[in-house]
Amino acid sequence: MKRALSAVAALVAMVAVVAGCGTGGPESIVDKDTLVIAVRSDLPYVGFRKPDGSFEGFDVDVARYVAGKLGKDFSLVPVLAADREKVLVDGRADMVVATYTISQDRKATVLFAGPYHISYQDILTRRDDPIGNVRELAGRKICEVRGANAAQRVVEERKVAAEVVPFADYQACLAGLKNRQVDAVTTNDVILAGLAMQDGSGLRLSNARFNEQRSGIGLPRGDVPGCEAVNRAITDMYQDGTAAKLLHTWFDASGLDLSTIAVPQFEGCS
């Protein structure tokens, strides 16, 4: 009797193992114990590496919240705009929280959870420059940071004949603005607000708000369960008031319009 029962048990267990192996696919972040999260290191108030090597900013706090909601330990690694796709594809990071604007062509290689924040494309100029909207960039020099598509959008999508000058990162861009190599920096308003606050020399944000920019959380393509779990975490972040608290903490002093803070319309994980 015992022998027969143990034989039955062994067979059942075998069936279970065989069936369990059937569900292949890439490992989801949900199944990992620790996450490597890539954040920007060059964007003050957004994703910034302090001299002691630690990170701070809105994106960093969002990353921390999401990892907490997923119940994961995490480590942060710096990523530049141009490398955001690469770190996900070659597995150096499990998640990218780096003002990563969702776009359809990026979706071919990356899965986006969120957006966790909607920002707008805006223009940063020197205090004495009267540029007030995107059309007034015609004939002016604007900075383009490698890997970001904001400047390109001015020229291609808005068809404004601005002269695009490439720079390695926003610090170089800002220096270029101040020493008149370029006349304007255009990208997400949160990035510009952070740069202007850190600079403190009175650079001017025009509040032109001409393109909606949806910042998503980048995940390896195919990790649908992970994406859905992150979306739930983002919903919680807005419903429990954390999102509002973080936005006010980081951007209250910046002059950004924080009148509407609401959970953004998600991109969907499929």
| Binding region for other proteins (CB under 8 A) | 1, 4-5, 8, 11-12, 15-16, 19-20, 22-23, 103-105, 108, 118, 120, 133-134, 152-153, 156-159, 209-212, 224-225, 228, 231-232, 235-236, 239, 260, 262-270
Q: Which is nearer to other proteins, 116 or 170 (CB)?
A: 116
In the complex, the smallest distance separating the C-beta of residue 237 from other proteins, rounded to whole angstroms, is 12
CB of 34 to other proteins, least distance (A): 24
**Closer of 11 and 89 to other proteins (Cβ):** 11
Residues with Cβ within 8 Å of 123's Cβ and at least 6 positions away in sequence, in order, are: 131, 133, 134, 137, 184, 185, 186, 192, 205, 206, 208
Between strands 184-188 and 110-125, the pairing is antiparallel
Cβ distance to other proteins smaller for residue 28 or 254 = 28
CB of 61 to other proteins, least distance (A): 21
Pairing of strands 163-167, 141-145: parallel
Q: Are strands 47-49 and 55-56 parallel, antiparallel or unpaired?
A: antiparallel
Q: At 194, list the tokens.
A: 């952070």
C-beta closer to other proteins: residue 74 or 120 = 120
Nearer to other proteins, 91 or 268 (CB): 268
Q: How far is the CB of 136 from other proteins (least distance, A)?
A: 12
Residues near 225 by beta carbon (within 8 Å), at least 6 away in sequence:
28, 30
Which residues lie below 8 Å from residue 237, measured CB to CB, with a gap of 6+? 62, 65, 66, 69, 116, 243
Minimum distance of other proteins from residue 231's CB (angstroms): 7
| Cα 154 from chain centroid (whole Å) | 20
